Amino acid sequence: MKESHREIQALTELLTVQQRIGRWKDPVQWTEKCRILKGQPFSFQDRDYLLPIYRDTHPNLVVVKARQMEMTEMLVNWLLFNLTAHRHTTALYTAPRADQVSRFSRDRIRKAIKDSPQLRHNLEVAREEEGKEAITRIPFANDSLLYLISAWGDFSAIRNIPADFAAVDEMQDVQSEALPVIMEAMAHSKHRRLALVGTASEVGSEFFRLWESSDMKEWNREAKAWVPTKPENKLYSGYHISQEMAPWIITLPPDHPNSIEAKRPPAYSERRFLNEVLGLFYAGMAKPLLTEDLLRCRAFQLKMMSGLGPPFRSYMGVDWGGGAGRTVVWIQAMDQWDRWRLLFVHRFTEKDLMRQAEVVSNLIPLFNVKQCVADLGYGAVQVAELQKKHASTVLGCSYVQRPDKPLERRDQQEFGERIAQLHVLADRSFYIEKAIELIKRIDAKGNHFPMLQLPWTEPARIEWIIDQFTCLERETVEMQSGRRYPRYLHPEGTEDHAFHAFVYALIAYDASKMYGEFSMGPLFGPR
Same fold across 2-278 and 291-514: no
3-state secondary structure of 346: strand
Q: How does DSSP assign 36-82, residue by residue? A: EETTEE---TT-TTHHHHHH---SEEEEEE-SSSSHHHHHHHHHHHH
- Which residues does 377 contact at the CB level (< 8 Å), separation at least 6? 320, 398, 399
pLDDT at 478: 64
Quote the pTM value.
0.68
pLDDT tens digit sequence for 387-433:
999 988 999 999 988 767 889 887 654 444 444 468 899 999 999 99
Between CA 52 and CA 192 the distance in angstroms is 19
Q: How far is CA 352 from CA 388, 394, 474, 498, in A?
A: 19, 20, 33, 19
> Measured between alpha carbons, how far apart are the two ends of the chain, in Å?
79
Statement: residue 331 has pLDDT above 90: yes
pLDDT value for 451: 95
| pLDDT bucket at 446, cuts 50 / 70 / 90 | confident
Residue 1, pLDDT score: 47
**pLDDT tier, 228 (very low <50, low <70, confident <90, very high otherwise):** very high
Strand pairing category for 452-455 and 340-347? parallel
| Rounded Cα gap, residues 238 and 103, in angstroms | 26
Return the H-helix or E-strand segment holding 340. strand 340-347
State the pLDDT at residue 431. Answer: 95
pLDDT at 328: 96
Residue 389 near residue 416 (C-beta atoms within 8 A): no
- Looking at 236-245, 252-261, 267-276, which range is the least confident one? 267-276
Closest listed residue to residue 410, CA positions, set 425, 420, 399: 425
Instruction: Domain ranges for the chain, please list them.
Output: 2-278, 291-514
Average pLDDT over residues 369-381: 92
Check: CB of residue 26 under 8 Å from CB of residue 54.
no
User: pLDDT band at 522, cuts 50/70/90?
Assistant: very low
Worst-scoring range by mean pLDDT, 75-79, 157-161, 235-239? 157-161
For 4-45, write each residue's pLDDT tens digit: 555 545 444 444 444 555 567 899 999 999 999 888 999 999
> Does residue 169 have a pLDDT over 80?
yes
Going 261 to 266 to 269 to 271, the CA torsion angle's sign is positive
DSSP codes joined into one string, 284-332: SSB-S--HHHHHTTEETT----S---TT--EEEEEE--SSTTT-EEEEE
d(CA 118, CA 130): 21
pLDDT single digits (tens) 87-115: 999 999 999 888 889 899 999 999 999 99
How far, in Å, CA of 194 to CA of 272, rounded? Answer: 28
Tell me the helix, strand and coil percentages in the chain, rounded to 5: 35, 20, 40
Sheet holding 314-319, edge to edge: 298-299, 452-455, 340-347, 328-334, 314-319, 369-375, 394-400, 423-427, 407-410
Q: Helix 353-366 crosses helix 380-390 at what angle (to 10 degrees)?
A: 30
Residue 352 CA to residue 371 CA, distance in Å, equals 24
Q: pLDDT class for 315, splitting at 50, 70, 90?
A: very high
Query: Which range among 151-155, 347-351, 425-429 shows the weakest confidence by mean pLDDT?
Result: 151-155
Q: Is the pLDDT of residue 222 over 60?
A: yes
Q: What is residue 525's predicted lDDT score, i.e. its pLDDT?
A: 34
Mention the CATH class of domain 291-514: alpha beta
Asked if pLDDT for residue 187 goes beyond 80, the answer is yes
Dihedral of the alpha carbons of 366, 370, 376, 382, in degrees to the nearest 10: 30
Work out the average pLDDT over 381-386: 92
User: Is the distance from CB of 207 to CB of 172 less than 8 angstroms?
Assistant: yes
The class level of CATH for 2-278 reads alpha beta
How do residues 470-489 score in pLDDT, each as one tens digit? Answer: 989 887 776 666 666 778 88
Secondary structure of 140-171 in HEC code, one letter for each residue: CCCCCEEEEEECCCCCHHHHCCCCCEEEECCH
